Chains A and B, each alone.
Chain A
């Protein structure tokens, strides 16, 4: 059980809350309070739109503990419209083949289950093929 660890990231997991650098205007996710582009302090909150494109993807066939029930599942690196890239599972794919460049959007889903039915559930962002305009 790692309750505080997941709780303190709730804004990131549920809403892709990152930062914007007041010095160079770069958007930052995950938040790190120091701009990775210009090195200045960057603590201004900024919420990403959740829209992006698949930069690359793979299929996990052997999963780490807590993810076995989902195998095989697709994990992508998604390039967000605002610039940052995020690692996330793709979901709601249906029969649609995944392609690099495919437009996707963020949804909130169950990510992981710890142990048996009494274990903690971790929710967070996944991405699905874009349906919103």
Chain B
């Protein structure tokens, strides 16, 4: 079977882009990725997006972006899986290229967050939950994470600032990422004084929602010249798993079962164990989700995932470098685009193009995106192809 390789990457800085529309952001990322691939001609565009139908009053992004990117005639449509939409779009592209029906595809994640304000945004975010039985009773996405965090601290008998290590790590790594939303490190004292959003969850436990667009070009290995423009990265594992949509429907809300399954399946496909990876880009949309993701992947025992953020394990020179370009907390969380940003950042690391944040000897990266509290979990294994 042919290798599916990532031949090009593109991203715009994450932030509040009052001057850019959804289509402009998407097209910039797509064109950057195509240029980075050396000008490959894609036959398909798979789009990851969560909220354009409600926040931008725009559906059918496939047609919109293909048209505006000057790619008329090719196949295109959107994958939606809440915060895992971008990763789900990559999965679509991977399967298409692997099947042989498509030789080369662009996968683009795009989210336009700042075209609405206030309670409208809260309502839009709630769409990722069980509308009838979570949102109607008055819960929001931040509240859902607050409920999980409350129980996590309670069951494990933890101090209020136990999860501070995740935003501290993310912000420290974002400082050197020119595409990150924030370039300022934070301290434990700042975390302890932060305003509560959905108690006990505070401002620093929640990644900031923002505008963003990122894209990758993927293709069959044998389409590329012997001496490619960049070190090549192949997708050696890919898996999606589902858990209940509503937190209250889980037998064990403290176990991210879908996150566990998708890691296991993606690693089995890649012929490796999770601990063989040189780095792990996981979902830190909320700090408690970061802790639960590490536990689900088997890197920590139940109730102990938070320790990895404070004992140096996740640092750039640690045993399992994570959130290496700032994660969602430091880089920003453009929802449906986040999964593609994670992939772009992992490729930067595997190519050796991560600048001051370069992880030494990074050959294999685990990348996991979550939709909601791991209602959907998408995992990809990326490997640098040795010369």
Contacts and interface: CB of A to CB of B under 8 A. Distances in A.
A84 B120 CA distance: 31
A65 B120 contact: yes
A100 B148 CA distance: 12
Interface string A69-84: 0100101110000001
A63 B140 contact: yes
Nearest to A62: B122
B143 A60 contact: yes
Contacts of A65: 119-120, 122-123
A61 B137 contact: no
Interface residues of A, number: 37
Contact of B198 (A59, A68, A100, A111): A59
Contacts of B197: 61-62
B137 A60 contact: no
Contacts, number: 106
B123 to A, nearest CB: 4
A64 B248 contact: no
Contacts of B150: 56-58, 100
Nearest to A6: B136
Given A64-B126, A75-B137, A112-B138, A55 B151 contact: yes
Q: How large, as a class, is the contact surface on chain B?
A: 35 or more
Q: Describe A's contact surface by its main secondary structure.
A: strand
Contact of A30 (B120, B132, B140, B151): B132
Given A9-B132, A64-B126, A64-B140, A59 B248 contact: no
Contacts of B69: none
Contacts of A111: 136-138
Contacts of A84: 248
B128 to A, nearest CB: 12
A125 B133 CA distance: 11
A85 B249 contact: yes
Contacts of A124: 136-137
Interface of B: 119-120, 122-123, 125-126, 132-140, 142-143, 146-151, 154, 196-201, 246-249, 253
19 contacts: A6-B136, A9-B132, A56-B148, A58-B147, A58-B201, A59-B146, A62-B142, A63-B119, A63-B138, A64-B119, A65-B120, A65-B123, A70-B138, A76-B147, A85-B248, A87-B147, A89-B137, A124-B136, A124-B137
